[in-house]
Amino acid sequence: MRRRQHVNPLGLGFTRRRARPPEIPTGRVLEIEIGCADAQFLFERARLEPDRFYVGIDIRNQLIDDVNRRARDEQQPVAGVFAHANLHLAQLFAPGRAARVFINFPDPWFKRRHHKRRLLDRELALAIHAALEPGGQLLFQTDVWGIALDAMAVLDGLDDELVNAAGPWSFWRGPNPFGARSWREQHCEEDGLPIWRMLYHRR
Ligand SMILES: C[S@@+](CC[C@H](N)C(=O)[O-])C[C@H]1O[C@@H](n2cnc3c(N)ncnc32)[C@H](O)[C@@H]1O
């Protein structure tokens, strides 16, 4: 079946629907990826720490169906949720429920008139902050310089709420500290493209 390459996150359909919260086994430490696509990153995380639970959110429902089919077939502790992170994050998770949130390589929307479709803004950053437990971590990574700068302006701009692990207004130096790679991350590394990473924790 044909997979849609891009979905306009400002499409009207999303504002009319509610997202269905995933079933998270009680007592499991939770990690969330926003914009997970095929959730390669979460499946790799699940192999490293199988006692945790991993939820991927995406606005492309066919990809989410694939993620859930794979999780079932391989009996992995991973669940996909068809939802719009900017609208639905607070509906999906109780406050303080997540140990980690990942945003890996969000869509760049290069054209200026499309910049308003970009994922991370102050409202989403505050919703992520609310979903994290105290000390919980947020990793943001991208290969697009403009996206990295905008993300840092938002995330370091919340300095009473999130602490930058590399120091204020600084990028994380070194490889991904979580031992897994998303599909886009793998391709950037294999092609020698730069990657800008930011790591924060909730106060
Ligand atoms: C460039 S892909 C990156 C996929 C994966 N994280 C990786 O690094 O390979 C960005 C993904 O974010 C999803 N996305 C875009 N806006 C979103 C939103 N508001 N809520 C949830 N997912 C979103 C897209 O559908 C797409 O699958």
* pTM exceeds 0.85, yes or no: yes
Query: To the nearest 10°, the Cα dihedral for 137, 141, 145, 147?
Result: -70
Give per-residue pLDDT as tens, 92-106: 999 999 999 999 999
- Check: CB of residue 131 under 8 Å from CB of residue 96: yes
Q: pLDDT tens digits for 101-157?
A: 999 999 998 888 888 888 999 999 999 999 999 999 999 999 999 999 999 999 999
Bridge pairing between strands 132-142 and 196-202? antiparallel
User: Can you tell me which atom of ligand 1 is nearest the CA of 7?
Assistant: 25
Closest CA to 128 of 155, 153, 160, 167: 155
pLDDT for residue 176 is more than 70: yes
Locate the ligand 1 atom nearest the alpha carbon of residue 86 and give its number. 19
Q: Classify burial at 196, counting beta carbons within 10 Å of its beta carbon; exposed 0-12, middle 13-18, buried 19 or more.
A: middle
Our CA dihedral for 100, 151, 184, 74, rounded to 10 degrees, sits at 20
Q: pLDDT tens digit string along 44-77? A: 999 999 999 999 999 999 999 999 999 999 999 9
Contact 41, 185 (CB under 8 A): yes
Q: Name the active-site residue from 107, 143, 159, 191.
A: 107
- 160 Cα: distance to centroid of ligand 1 (angstroms): 27
Pocket test for ligand 1, best of 14, 36, 62, 101 (most atoms within 8 A of CB): 36
